[in-house]
């Protein structure tokens, strides 16, 4: 009897083990991006699949297919996902994956923001060595990201390529001469006619609805709406509500700012950031990219206060990304050197915002391409020149993988992202407190939650050393400030910290069993 019972237990154990492994292998990804974003817990990494893992064997910065080199694809992009996971990244912003226009194009591969279709995928992103179809390759990339607990935001282009205009001129805004409108100076695209607040254009709406269907089917967790002000709030409201019927956690990020107030075209609508948030967007860019122009700590404090109010200003909470540097901004190292990149990393880690990084900035890429704007020996569009924006990540050509080799900066990047993860409850629920600094160019703030406090001191002067005395309420000599990110250690004396900061230096300290806000 005992022998039979023992055998039965062994069989049952094997069965349960097999079932558990099978269940784990078949686990369905459950999207939680909206919840993560609204708690300021997203660490977002922006990447262009076409360059993300490009293989530039000869190191000349251009992908030459005739020489056996490969541009980035959905399949080879998977190889770098572990790198992002190990760095602490939990969300990626994938720049447009729609087909690109080839007529009146910019660059030898065409801008990824010049969409020639909104319901198909860019064939440039297909791996020729895989037997999978393009759609299957894309779906595999999304699934592999999810396996690593990385959420995926997909970029929704704001305009249509000239190629799309030639196929469907009825979808576009016309000027007084009945010509399609070029928004701003984007000569490779034309302005889509999304309608007005009184009546949205159903044809363009269906175009975007098809895009939503496509990316949700692929496994996307959210959408970043490129130049969201170009469409009426009513247009976005209906589209967002449609997506939420498919997935309540589907997150929407508006490329919009409270400091933007000028329409891109006299022929198009302009919807300000607050109306976009009212329409259902979960967050927007804010104006953190203006950090490069701030020389007073008060500018930083005002913006934190302004964005903190988003949590209670609307029917549902809203949030913001740390848009200190985006693909539309100059590389941080060109603006204020390595210290500026470093400051961005640690502000992202310690402020009540969702962190945001551009592929390559973690190792100091300045996005300077020696072949920029020169005539190309070969092109895949009607543009014979390597068009690029100086100091900005390339979105126009088959070019090298972003990134240089500044290991010290990369170590700081990884440390900051991982530190933010340990602060998750504080970033989501903590209180931001401005600390009194005797130097207006030195910012000083505290984040406190659950008897734990982070102190952050920084020098907004990127030319000179600055000293400051900083008062931290209720802090005393018995407490220990653990250095997390510093060059020189601040000294506590006479009930205040004395700190000496190098140009652009940021200091981060952690104090346990202490809460400034109480």
| CATH number assigned to the domain comprising residue 222 | 3.20.20.80
- Verify that 81 and 109 share a domain, yes or no: yes
Model pLDDT, residue 11: 47
User: What's the rounded mean pLDDT across residues 49-76?
Assistant: 97
Least confident interval from 65-69, 139-143, 308-312, 408-412: 308-312
| Strand-pair category, 91-94 with 151-156 | parallel
- Report pLDDT digits (tens) over 108-145: 999 999 999 999 999 999 999 999 999 999 999 999 99
Counting residues of the chain whose pLDDT is more than 70, the rounded percentage is 95
CATH code of the domain containing 479: 2.60.40.1180
What does pTM read for this prediction? 0.94
If DSSP states are collapsed to H, E and C, what string results for 307-373? HHCHHHHCCCCCEEECCCCCCCCCCHHHHHHHHHHHHHHHHHHHCCCEEEEECCHHHCCCCCCCCCC
Model pLDDT, residue 22: 42
Q: Which two tokens stand for residue 227?
A: 């130049």
- Verify that 258 and 310 share a domain, yes or no: yes
Contacts of 451 (CB under 8 A, 6+ apart): 512, 513, 514, 515
Contact indicator for 74, 130 with CB cutoff of 8 Å: no
- Verify that 339 and 351 share a domain, yes or no: yes
Model pLDDT, residue 350: 98
Q: Please state, in angstroms and rounded to a whole number, the distance separating the CA atoms of residues 478 and 481.
A: 10
For residue 409, what is the enclosing H or E element?
helix 407-422
Q: Which two tokens stand for residue 91?
A: 């969300």
| Number of domains within the chain | 2
- Verify that 45 and 131 share a domain, yes or no: yes
- Report pLDDT digits (tens) over 4-59: 444 444 444 544 444 444 444 457 899 999 999 999 999 999 999 999 999 999 99
Asked if residue 325 is part of any domain, the answer here is yes
pLDDT reading at 99 higher than 70:
yes
Model pLDDT, residue 307: 93
Contact indicator for 90, 101 with CB cutoff of 8 Å: no
Boundary residue ending a domain (401, 429, 457): 429
- Verify that 119 and 229 share a domain, yes or no: yes
- Verify that 146 and 105 share a domain, yes or no: yes
Which residues, listed in sequence order, are joined to residue 471 by a DSSP beta bridge? 436
Q: What value does the mean pLDDT of the chain take? A: 94
Asked if residue 23 is part of any domain, the answer here is no
- Verify that 481 and 384 share a domain, yes or no: no
- Verify that 371 and 437 share a domain, yes or no: no
Q: Which two tokens stand for residue 223?
A: 């959408």
- Verify that 91 and 104 share a domain, yes or no: yes
Q: Please state, in angstroms and rounded to a whole number, the distance separating the CA atoms of residues 87 and 11.
A: 42
pLDDT reading at 262 higher than 90:
no
Instruction: Burial-class residue 266 by CB neighbours within 10 Å (0-12, 13-18, 19+).
Output: exposed
Model pLDDT, residue 489: 86
- DSSP designation for 381: S
Query: Which range marks the domain in which residue 272 is found?
Result: 33-429
- Verify that 135 and 227 share a domain, yes or no: yes
Boundary residue ending a domain (414, 429, 444): 429
- Report pLDDT digits (tens) over 399-425: 999 999 899 999 999 999 999 999 999
Instruction: Assign 129 to helix, strand or coil.
Output: coil
Asked if residue 64 is part of any domain, the answer here is yes
pLDDT reading at 261 higher than 70:
yes
Asked if residue 347 is part of any domain, the answer here is yes
Starting at the edge strand that comes first in sequence, how are the strands of the sheet with 506-512 ordered? 431-434, 442-448, 452-459, 506-512, 481-485
Contact indicator for 223, 212 with CB cutoff of 8 Å: yes
- Report pLDDT digits (tens) over 450-493: 999 999 999 999 999 999 999 999 999 999 999 999 988 899 99
Model pLDDT, residue 2: 40
Asked if residue 5 is part of any domain, the answer here is no
- Verify that 345 and 441 share a domain, yes or no: no
- Verify that 229 and 310 share a domain, yes or no: yes
Residue closest to 410 by CA, chosen among 77, 93, 89: 89
Asked if residue 458 is part of any domain, the answer here is yes
Asked if residue 54 is part of any domain, the answer here is yes
Boundary residue ending a domain (397, 429, 461): 429
Asked if residue 2 is part of any domain, the answer here is no
């Amino acid at each position: 009897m005992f022998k039979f019972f023992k055998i039965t237990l062994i069989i049952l154990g094997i069965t349960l083990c097999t079932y558990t492994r099978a269940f784990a292998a078949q686990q369905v990804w459950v999207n939680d991006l909206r919840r993560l974003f609204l708690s300021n817990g997203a660490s977002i990494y922006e990447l262009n699949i076409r360059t993300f893992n490009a293989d530039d064997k000869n190191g000349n910065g251009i992908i030459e297919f005739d020489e056996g080199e490969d541009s980035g694809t959905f399949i080879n992009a998977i190889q770098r996902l572990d790198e992002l996971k190990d760095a602490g990244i939990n969300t990626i912003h994938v720049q447009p994956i729609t087909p690109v226009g080839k007529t009146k194009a910019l660059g030898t591969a065409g801008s990824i923001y010049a969409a020639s279709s909104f319901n198909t995928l860019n064939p440039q992103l297909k791996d020729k060595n895989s037997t999978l179809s393009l759609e299957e390759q894309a779906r595999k990339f999304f699934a592999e990201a999810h396996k690593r607990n990385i959420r995926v935001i997909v970029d929704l282009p704001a305009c249509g390529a000239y190629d799309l205009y030639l196929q469907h001129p009825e979808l576009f805004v016309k000027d007084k001469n009945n010509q399609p409108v070029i928004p701003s100076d984007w000569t490779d695209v034309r302005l889509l006619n999304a309608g007005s607040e009184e009546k949205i254009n159903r044809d363009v709406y269906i175009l975007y609805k098809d895009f939503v269907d496509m990316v949700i089917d692929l496994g996307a967790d959210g959408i970043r709406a490129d130049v969201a002000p170009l469409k009426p709030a009513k247009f976005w409201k209906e589209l967002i509500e449609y997506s939420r019927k498919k997935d309540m956690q589907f997150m929407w990020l508006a490329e919009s700012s409270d400091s933007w107030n000028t329409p891109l075209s006299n022929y198009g609508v302009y919807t300000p950031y607050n109306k976009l948030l009212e329409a259902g967007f979960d967050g927007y860019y804010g104006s953190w990219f203006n950090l490069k122009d701030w020389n007073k700590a008060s500018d930083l404090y005002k913006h934190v206060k302004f964005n903190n109010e988003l949590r209670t200003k609307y029917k549902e909470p809203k949030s913001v990304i740390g848009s200190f540097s985006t693909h539309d901004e100059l590389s941080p190292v060109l603006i204020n050197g390595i210290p500026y990149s470093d400051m961005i990393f640690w502000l992202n880690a310690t402020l009540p915002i969702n962190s945001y990084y551009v592929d390559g900035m973690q190792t100091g890429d300045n996005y300077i391409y020696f072949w920029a704007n020169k005539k190309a020996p070969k092109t895949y569009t009607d543009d014979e020149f390597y068009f690029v924006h100086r100091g900005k990540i390339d979105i126009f050509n088959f070019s090298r993988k972003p990134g240089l080799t500044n290991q010290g900066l990369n170590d700081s990047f990884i440390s900051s992202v991982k530190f933010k993860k340990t602060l998750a409850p504080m970033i989501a629920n903590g209180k931001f407190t401005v600390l009194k600094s005797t130097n207006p160019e030195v910012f000083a703030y505290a984040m406190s939650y659950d008897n734990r406090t982070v102190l952050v001191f920084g020098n907004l002067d990127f030319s000179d050393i600055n000293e400051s005395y900083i008062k931290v309420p209720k802090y005393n000599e018995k407490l220990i400030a653990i250095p997390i990110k510093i060059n020189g250690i601040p000294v506590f004396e006479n009930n205040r910290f004395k700190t000496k900061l190098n140009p652009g230096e940021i200091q981060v300290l952690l104090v346990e069993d202490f809460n400034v806000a109480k």
